[in-house]
Structure formats: C-alpha cells, structure tokens
Amino acid sequence: MRHILTGTTAAKGMALGRARLVQPSRYLVDTRPLNEDEVDVELARLHRALETARQELRELRGKLHGALAREVNEFIDAHSLLLDDPELLRGLDDLVRIGHYRPGAALKKQRDRIAAVFEAMDDPYLRSRKEDVDQVISRVISALQRQTSREERKLAARVGEILVADTIAPADMAHLAGSGLLGVVASSGSAYSHSAILARSLDLPMLVGVRDALSTIHDDDLILLDAERGEAVVHPTAQDLARYRAWQREAAQEGRRLATLANAPTRTTDGVDIRLLANAEMPADIAMARARGADGVGLYRTEFLFLRQKGLPTEDEQFIAYRDLVLGMGGLPVTIRTLDLGADKADAAGLVLRGEDNPALGVRGVRLSLRYPAVFTTQIRAILRAACYGPVRVLVPMVTQPDELIAVRTLFKLARQELKRENVDLPEKLALGAMIEVPAAAINVRALLEHADFLAIGTNDLAQYVLAADRGNDALDNIYNPLQPALLRLLSYVIAEGRRAKKPVSLCGEIGGDVSFTALLLALGLNEFSMHPSQLLHVRDRVATLDHALLRAHASRILRARTHEEAEALLTQIVG
C-alpha cells in the first residue's frame, strides 16, 4: 500500500529504486489472533511470501558463477529444501488455519520449534544449521512484510538501489556511489553533515531525519525518493511515476540550459562581476572545474596525499600532485591549502601524536604542521617547486593568532633558501593566506591581515565553533543554521576588514556553493566564492538573477535580525 515518509532534504533530486536496508530493524510480529473471516486471506499471503522466497533463491542461483557458485550453492540448496519441507509447511498452515496465528507469528513459532530441535543435537555441525532456519524464516518474513506487487518487482529489477539506513558514513557513500547507488534515505543525520555534503557533490538525492524509515520500509520495496519535496513515496502509484518521468525530462532540459553557462561570465543584473573558484582534491575535480568555467581553484585539499597510503608522502610525490594541479588549471590561479589534519587522523598519516579528548579543539591544521616542522618543510618545498608552473597561493588552515602565520612565513623563507642553494627554479613571490575558521581569528582579523595576503573563510568549522553546535548532530538543527545573526555579523566583519585592507576574501565553506545563500553572501559584500565544481553552474545562474546594489543596500537590515528565522524572512522579502 502506498505511503509517504517525510524528512529534510539534504541533497535535491529524485530517484526511483528498490530499497536496500543497511541495518534492517527487527521484524515486528503481530501477535493478535486472527478472526475466522481473515484466515483464508492471511493463508494466501503466507503462501505468496513462501513462493517469493523460493523465487529469490532461484534467481540468486542463476546469478552466481564459478568459484562463488560452488561456495554458495550448498547453502542455497539447503534453504530451498527447508522452504519445501512438508513438516514446516504443514505446521505453518495448521498454525494459521487452526491456531488462528497471523503469518508472521506462525513463522516465528515454527522457527522457535525447529531451532529447539537443532539446539538439542549433540553434533556441532548439525547444531550450526539452526542459522539456516533463521535465515530462511527471515527471508519469508521479509517477503511477507514487503507486500510488493508482481508489477513492482518487475520494475524494481530494472532499477538501482536506494539506501535506507540510520546514518551513512561518507566513505561508504563514496564506495556505493560507484556501484549504482541512486539515493539515500536516512532516519537521522543533518543536512549539514559530511555525508550530506558528499551527496550533493555526487548529485545523489538524499533525505535525512526520516524517522520511521527503518521500521516501515523493507528490503526491495519500490521507493520514489523525492528530495525536491522532502518525501519518500513507498509503493508509488502510476501517478507518482508519471511525476517522476516529468521531473526527469525537466531536469535533462535544465542540465542542457546550465551547460550553456560553462563559458559565460558570472555577473549580476547590475553588471558586477563575481569570481567563482573550485574546491578540489582529486584530478576529476580539476577536470570538472575547467569544464564548468571556474576562475581558478580556491581550495585544494592536500590531506588525501597523507591519508591514501601508509607513511608520509615524499617531497617528489607531493610535488608531482601539486604540479599536475597547476598544469591542469592551465594558467588559472590555484590555492593550495597546507596539511589540515587533526589529532584524530594524525596516526593514519604517519604522524605520531598522543590521543586527545577533543580533537576538534586540539592539535590540528597549522598547529599540527608547526609541531612537525620537518614534515611541514617537505610539503613547503614541494609547493615552492610546483609554483614555478603557474600562479599559486598558499592557504594556512586553523589559524588562531598572528604568530602562527609568522612561523609559517619563516619556514617558507628557510625552504626557499635551501632550494636556491640546490639551484631549483623558484617563483618570485608566493601569496600566503589565512583560513578564517576559528572565532578568535575572525574577531582579531585586523591583526592577521598584517601578515596575510588574503583570507579564505571556512564557514563549516567557523559556524560549529561560533554556535557550539556539531553540524552532523540532527538534534541541533535549530541551532546550527548559517543564518544565525551572530555568524552573519562575524562574516560581515571579516569581509569588510579584508576590503578595508585591500586584500582578497573568499568563502570556501559549504554555503558558498548553496544557491539558497548566494544572495545573502552578496549582500554581506562577498565577491569571491569557492565551491565543489558540481555547483559552479548553479551559482553562476543564480548570480545572474540578483541585483548587487539592491542587496548591499539592505545588508544592514539583515545584520540587525535577532533570529535566523527573522534573517531568512528579511532575505526572502528583499530578493522576492
């Protein structure tokens, strides 16, 4: 039967697929006795579920080949025999027809009976076959609860999977995305979590906070994931499917329209040019940034070099990666962020650091780099060598106070002197910037600007620190909101101070690529955005609809807002 579950949209889009539960909830067995007039209907449901389970095993056998088939076929045969066991089937029928048990309760009763027989056996191997009984009964109960029509099963066989889980780790999502994953329904989580960010970059529709997902969705249920409306439609109707097909046509048409903006300027309606840069990590990001007309790379994460292998990357390994990045951007400016690891990941990168109770407030970013000057100097040398191949800026993460920037400049100066003695070609000048993600850095930004050539605001961490709210904690959704007045005033102050010092300020946090915040950031005076390359065309399109002068004129009204709801209402009123 069709039903709708609602949640919060973490990544927009729509998808049609069969449910795959990562952590299925325990089966809920209805223990109410059957009425006499229900017996025949429920008995038919039980027989259909048994036949569905048999068909699944036949299909599974047909899909297996070679060594895997030889390994698994024994278990498939054992399960098939159990499903055809006369004693099991007769007992089930009697429980429903005579005992007035509902099918789920009858299956559990038979499972308990047979399991008790196996448990009493002396032979360890025979005792272990109790697991086969558990698995077979679970398969039938799953089929019983799915209530999937034959037509739905045919359609589900032709489509991919929608993951249904409590939460999903970013690494798991990345792995599954390469295996045909179509979307995600999560019973908890936040729209600002790392997984949500990844889903948006992968163009995977995702809903979070779908409270009843694990208890009401079953494996292989057909689901229409509508992350435009914030709904998951279980057992969609023909009308739902028609809506999905219409969305597909519109999305394809919109994609073609956006593609025409790849080489267009990013300009407001009143003629103000805005710079759009890309956040990047892998070669695929660089290729996408170039294809979509990025003005450069505003944030290149170097951590992957330290986490993808055991031990530390050599200077040459880093140099090759940075050089390829610079060459890949074809003369456009590139901003390389120095190592941004926390103590929670330092061991994985080959840096030995005692465990910390609170890594988020510990030795991370530039703090970690300065603790290991030899490791940091290796990275600095690689960056200096790569900077001869095109325009490069260096961004220092987790800056809190000016002396950290002074120390970094000193290490760059020493590395430059070393390389000069080795007759290595060097760039004439290298801009050094501070990442503003610590509240102290934002409040004391004037002092930092005396030593920084540019600023990049990391709103993901800055918001967490200012609001004392973990962005991945869905219980704090009412607090972690980029429109919180305290955060807006801090952003406005940093941008204004950068402009006063005549030094560039970019924003490389998640909201930089979210079109729902584009108008707000323009109002605050930002003119340099950095984002995942998949968002470049969407933001360019949004900028082209906005009047820069109008937004700037109303900035003071937005900054006087007392709540994030008030700020949102004002922004809606201004933009229209």
Q: Where are the domains of the chain?
A: 14-19+151-256, 29-147, 296-433
User: Of the listed 218, 508, 548, 564, which one is catalytic?
Assistant: 508
Question: How far is residue 273's CA from residue 22's CA, in Å, rounded to a whole number?
Answer: 46
d(CA 536, CA 293): 8
Check residue 157 and give its pLDDT: 53
What average pLDDT does this structure show over 246-270? 94
Residue length, the chain? 576
Confidence class for position 71, pLDDT limits 50, 70, 90: very low
pLDDT for the residue numbered 554: 95
Indicate whether 65 pLDDT > 60. no
3-state secondary structure string across 81-122:
HHHCCHHHHHHHHHHHHCCCCCHHHHHHHHHHHHHHHHHCCC
pLDDT reading at 70 higher than 60: no
175 belongs to the catalytic site:
no
* Strand ranges (E), 404-445: 431-436
Q: Is the pLDDT assigned to residue 507 strictly greater than 70?
A: yes
Burial (CB count <10 Å: 0-12, 13-18, 19+), residue 534? middle
According to the CATH classification, is domain 296-433 in 3.20.20.60?
yes
Window from 34-48, 112-126, 222-236 with minimum mean pLDDT: 112-126
**Residue 25 binned pLDDT confidence (cut-offs 50, 70, 90):** very low
Average pLDDT over all residues of the chain: 87
Of residues 480 and 174, more confidently modeled? 480
- pLDDT reported for residue 434: 98
Percent with pLDDT over 70 in the chain: 87
Q: End-to-end CA distance of the chain, in Å?
A: 40
Task: Report the run of H or E that residue 256 belongs to, with start and end.
Answer: helix 238-259
φ, ψ at 171 (rounded to 5°): -65, -40
pLDDT band at 411 (very low <50, low <70, confident <90, very high): very high
User: Looking at residue 122, what is its pLDDT?
Assistant: 65
Find out whether 411 and 373 touch, Cβ atoms under 8 Å.
yes
Which contacts qualify for 405-410: CB closer than 8 Å, 24 or more apart?
405/432, 405/434, 405/448, 405/451, 405/452, 406/451, 407/370, 408/338, 408/366, 408/369, 408/370, 408/432, 409/451
Instruction: Please enumerate in sequence order all residues whose Cβ is within 8 A of that of 77, keeping only pairs 6 or more positions apart, or say none.
Output: none
- Tell me which residue has tokens 């973990």: 470
Q: Which pLDDT band, with edges at 50, 70 and 90, does 201 fall under?
A: confident
Strand ranges inside 378-476, DSSP E:
392-396, 431-436, 454-457
What's the CATH fold of domain 14-19+151-256?
Glucose Oxidase; domain 1 (3.50.30)
Contact 104, 145 (CB under 8 A): yes
Are 183 and 162 in contact by the 8 Å Cβ rule? The answer is yes
Residue 290, class by beta-carbon neighbours within 10 Å (0-12 exposed, 13-18 middle, 19+ buried)? Answer: middle
Q: Report the pLDDT value the prediction gives residue 60, as an integer from 0 to 100.
A: 65
User: Across the chain, how many H-helices and E-strands are there?
Assistant: 27, 16
Q: Average of pLDDT values for 176-187?
A: 83
pLDDT of residue 24: 46
Q: Indicate the SS3 state at residue 208.
A: strand
Residue 343: name the closest of 370, 313, 372, 365 by CA: 365
Q: Is 386 helix (H, G, I), strand (E, B) or coil?
A: helix
| Residue 66 pLDDT grade (very low, low, confident, very high; cuts 50, 70, 90) | very low
- In this predicted structure, what is the pLDDT of residue 64? 52
Mean predicted confidence (pLDDT) in 361-380: 93
Indicate the DSSP class of residue 207.
E
- Write out the DSSP string of 262-301: TTS--B-TTS-B-EEEEEE-SHHHHHHHHHTT-SSEEEEE
Q: For residue 345, name the pLDDT band (cuts at 50, 70, 90).
A: low
Per the CB < 8 A criterion, the answer to whether 183 and 15 are in contact is yes
d(CA 52, CA 79): 13
So what's the pLDDT on residue 74? 59
Sort strands 454-457 and 505-507 into parallel, antiparallel or unpaired: parallel
Confidence of residue 68 (pLDDT cuts 50, 70, 90): very low
- In this prediction, residue 129 has a pLDDT band, given cuts at 50, 70 and 90, of low
Q: What is the pLDDT of residue 327?
A: 95
Question: 17 near 160, Cβ under 8 Å?
Answer: yes
Residue 173 reports pLDDT greater than 90: no
**Spatial contact of 96 and 36, defined as CB atoms under 8 Å apart:** no
Of 42-46, 109-113, 333-337, the least confident: 109-113
Q: Which of 3, 79, 175, 194 is catalytic?
A: 194
Per-residue pLDDT at 430: 95
Q: Would you call 262 exposed, middle or buried from its count of C-beta atoms within 10 A (0-12, 13-18, 19+)? A: middle
Chain-centroid distance, C-alpha 57: 34
Asked if residue 16 has pLDDT above 90, the reply is: yes
pLDDT band at 149 (very low <50, low <70, confident <90, very high): low
Q: Is the pLDDT of residue 342 over 60?
A: yes
Mean pLDDT for the stretch of residues 165-179: 72
Question: Is-catalytic flag, 388?
Answer: no
Local confidence band at 343 (pLDDT 50, 70, 90 cut-offs): low
Phi, psi of 364 (to 5 degrees): -140, 165
What angle (nearest 5°) sits at the alpha carbon of residue 334, between those of residues 332 and 337?
Answer: 175
User: What's the pLDDT tens digit per position in 29-41?
Assistant: 677 888 888 899 9
Tokens representing 373 are 């000057």
Q: Which of 493, 441, 439 is nearest to 462 (CA)?
A: 439
Helix (H) or strand (E) holding 548: helix 548-553
Range of weakest confidence among 98-112, 287-301, 551-565: 98-112
* CATH fold of the domain at 29-147: Enzyme I; Chain A, domain 2 (1.10.274)
At 277 the pLDDT is 98
Q: How confident is the model at residue 563 (pLDDT cuts 50, 70, 90)?
A: very high
Whether the predicted pLDDT of 154 surpasses 90:
no
Closest by CA position to 147, among listed 212, 233, 52, 237:
52
* 311 contacts 352 by C-beta, under 8 angstroms: no
pTM for this prediction: 0.73
